[in-house]
Chains A and B, each alone.
Chain A
């Protein structure tokens, strides 16, 4: 248990520091979009310069990855301290761009490197992540290996001091703007499905790597197809043991689920509570209740689902204090969050009526257009990071101990 006084004094220090240092030029800018590399081109030079200064300040304090050891660019803090940093940055209307700027770096690659990386690998890779300077993508899924990830066929051939990679990855988030990639590759074609897989790290800026953005229903292209043609991964960048990549990726995916159990960051859906939006679009009766009683019931169910999700996340955090086991709870929370968030977006759209079909232009408010795009992009929540159904497989097998019949290794 943390000393409450110590945490409170830490909180006031953080608050003072954020207030003093968050650049005024960044107030109100679409920082998540810029950090994610989506609307960077649209940002003014002042905003870009402010963002870079802010990143450097956060990186110097180790707050890009506060819980990592200091020697790897973190701040060596506990989870409660890290939570306070996040809360105070949010409270000040500021934003910590580093996790977003590193793609999969802070949330997934870093924690896995900390666990499986050699001393040399940790020294070489972690600082660039914690400082927000190196963006990472992950080459996991393939056209014929989605939910059935272990059936992947991208091959890594042993060339002495390096591996030569050949094959195609898909749904590689940010591959076109990343500097490094963690890829799951087959290193032994004779072994069992999960036994011949290894996990390698490779630089993206090389001749053997080609990326093609995929345009989604929401109009954006966060994902790529990534082609490896004799792409080079150094032997020193094999993470974990040869042919033991499945253990590495299982851990990696646990970190992914963990990172997908909470909210979705800054959201147009949160610009006003849904019931307030409904009062505006749908109207109220004399008692102050929504006139559409069916909508009202579904709205309150969604509110309750949200409350139940948040209370469960809190309860599981409290129970897990001091323990590292995240797998079981993460599957439950990922699905409850997904259900809640997708339903919430559908309700917002329903409330807005035909304003909820706007794509662009002055006929629609920015907030309305934002909600429409979030409604569409949110459909991915039940697909990525292990689909809704895969999470239920995990719960039934790993949590409830029911026998597995659907996946053959």
Chain B
């Protein structure tokens, strides 16, 4: 665990105990079984707002606490441990990052307080095809009547059903990928929920000649830069959630190794399993270092933050991929049953693996960034 300030430690402890008592994975199971729409429990979401988590990345003059990415990452890790469903990451992490970096003062005033008080739910609408590729954006934002006319089709948009505002990546007439704020209730916007293994809110969003004013354009950074920067931050955040999912999977597995008996012994006494646990633990420690380094690099404004975000997503992904498979394997038959939670972790692991690019994509990015 990275060295935390006193304030960060307090927030982390608060998150850990709140998640364990108020939103354990059993709540996710109840939610899944209820077949409700929307992907999360509104009561849990307003509790997160009340605890101030939505303001962690927001400057104080817009109602936030401006505690930075490591702080937010630590909360995401705790939420990942119990598969807590909420729009916190999509809105207060990714959405707030886009506004902070790309918005002018008026735009910040317009959007940030709403993110903090939970009245606005932002989400990043990027992908247009099943495999994430940064430059595969065909959506168009054409200049029109002093504003923009936006068209395109987005898929696998996180929290896409409950979002109030989409942060849409689209190409301008010049061909650059820029970000636009699109109210979910604007004319020409339609969305449908997708049913996915992780039972979270993913939507297909269609944009047909949506008329936008100039103030919908986040123009605070040079062409294409904002899009890259938001994605880098998003990847580092996903890595922190993945770390939480993986660490809890490890703890469940270790507990089982110490209690399950076969051949008259606890199964953790077999060297084959002891060594597998040692390898998984080592991979977990490596993943933690990389995930934390990803968000710390952002807080420090490090020159290599793009490479660090790729490292964090790839190495955490590598650990979680193996860990989620071993979670099932080591639990044996019980791990295959829907009554046991292991399946939830496996399913969420793969959804997060694909989100904003899988391990292979981030290894490719890392090599490119290093110049080979």
Contacts and interface: CB of A to CB of B under 8 A. Distances in A.
A406 interface: yes
Name the prevailing secondary structure of the B interface residues.
Answer: helix
A307 interface: yes
Nearest to B275: A392
A297 B371 contact: no
B271 A275 contact: no
A308 B290 contact: yes
Name the prevailing secondary structure of the A interface residues.
Answer: helix
Given A304-B311, A311-B293, A402-B258, A289 B368 contact: yes
Interface string A309-338: 101101100110000000000001001100
A275 B370 contact: yes
A237 B257 CA distance: 45
Contacts of A311: 286, 289-290, 293
Contact of A397 (B254, B270, B274, B286): B274
A42 interface: no
A392 B274 contact: yes
B277 interface: yes
A401 B274 CA distance: 10
A396 B277 contact: yes
A145 interface: no
B238 interface: no
Contact of B289 (A284, A308, A392, A402): A308
B268 A402 contact: yes
Interface string B242-272: 0000000000001001100000011011110
B221 to A, nearest CB: 25
Contact of A335 (B282, B290, B372): B282
A244 B315 CA distance: 43
Contacts of A392: 274-275, 278-279
Contacts of B290: 304, 307-308, 311
A274 to B, nearest CB: 9
A10 B80 CA distance: 44
Interface residues on chain B, size class: 35 or more
Nearest to B284: A332
A159 interface: no
Nearest to B292: A315
A16 interface: no
B1 A395 contact: no
A145 B372 CA distance: 46
Interface residues of A, number: 43
A332 B284 CA distance: 11
B13 to A, nearest CB: 17
Interface string B26-63: 00000000000000000000000000000000000000
Contacts of B281: 332, 395, 399-400
A303 B360 contact: no
B363 interface: yes
Contact of B271 (A290, A303, A400, A405): A405
B317 to A, nearest CB: 11
Given A297-B360, A312-B289, A315-B292, A307 B367 contact: no
Contacts of B271: 393, 405-406
Interface string A291-315: 0000011011101110111011011
28 contacts: A275-B370, A290-B372, A296-B367, A303-B367, A304-B311, A304-B363, A308-B286, A311-B289, A312-B286, A312-B289, A315-B292, A318-B3, A319-B3, A392-B278, A393-B274, A393-B275, A395-B277, A395-B282, A396-B274, A396-B275, A397-B274, A400-B281, A402-B254, A402-B269, A402-B277, A403-B266, A405-B265, A406-B271
Given A392-B278, A396-B268, 17 more contacts: A275-B370, A297-B360, A297-B364, A300-B370, A303-B367, A304-B314, A311-B286, A311-B289, A311-B290, A315-B292, A335-B282, A392-B275, A395-B282, A396-B275, A397-B274, A400-B254, A403-B266
